[in-house]
Amino acid sequence: MVTGRGTLHFSGIPRDRDAGVDYPDPEPGWPRTRQPDPDCDRSPRKCCLRLSAIHLVKESVLTGVFGVACAVSLALPRPLAFFFGRQFATAGDPARVQVWNSYWVYPEFRRVQYTITAVWAVGLLLDAGFRVVLTFVLPVASMVWLSPVIFYAGLLALLTWMFSYIARARARASVAGIATLGAA
């Protein structure tokens, strides 16, 4: 609510001005050009819950952006999984990087990289979409704890699938007589 001096306060909450502390008036015309949110004036809790919902959606959007990046990389000559896998498998060692890069000639290796990237893209986009929908369906207080649980459960599921898929791909490669790097 805007008081006679042009300062803002929430109804029923005493201000420091009431305790003898005097603040300068805001810039001229401020109360006419920038009105406080009427919901926040009646209930500061509503304002906090709205900001919490925005934060929850922002987290989901970041997850979705990485999912889109994975999906877009499927159209590139080498998908994101190739670069992440190279970093984890070689730790930047130039000799191991050269070996990793040489695997690209094998169709099975390329298929594994594209499959991993596609599954991560779908998983991250589903996670982001699911959490955004739930943010608007469930109470924000529930989503504050549920959103990270959903994210980490999805992440754990993706990682578990990926490592088991890599193990199966390595087994197929060893049967075919192709040596693989020991990491990742």
Query: Measured between alpha carbons, how far is 75 from 59 in angstroms, rounded to an integer?
Result: 26
- Tell me the CB-side half-sphere exposure of residue 175, using CA atoms within 13 A: 7
* 182 compared with 71, residue with greater pLDDT: 71
Domain range summary for the chain, segments of one domain joined by + = 1-36, 51-175
**pLDDT given at position 177:** 77
**pLDDT given at position 55:** 74
**pLDDT given at position 10:** 47
**pLDDT given at position 48:** 55
**pLDDT given at position 14:** 47
Rg of the chain (C-alpha set):
26
Split at pLDDT 50, 70, 90, the class of 84 is: very high
8 A C-beta contact, residue 95 and residue 182: no
pLDDT by residue (tens digit) across 2-17?
444 444 544 444 455 5
* 42 compared with 94, residue with greater pLDDT: 94
**pLDDT given at position 42:** 52
Split at pLDDT 50, 70, 90, the class of 124 is: very high
pLDDT by residue (tens digit) across 125-184?
999 999 999 888 888 888 889 999 999 999 999 999 999 999 999 888 888 777 766 544
**pLDDT given at position 33:** 44
CA distances from 144 to 21, 127, 134 (A): 36, 15, 11
pLDDT by residue (tens digit) across 29-60?
444 444 445 555 555 555 555 666 777 788 88
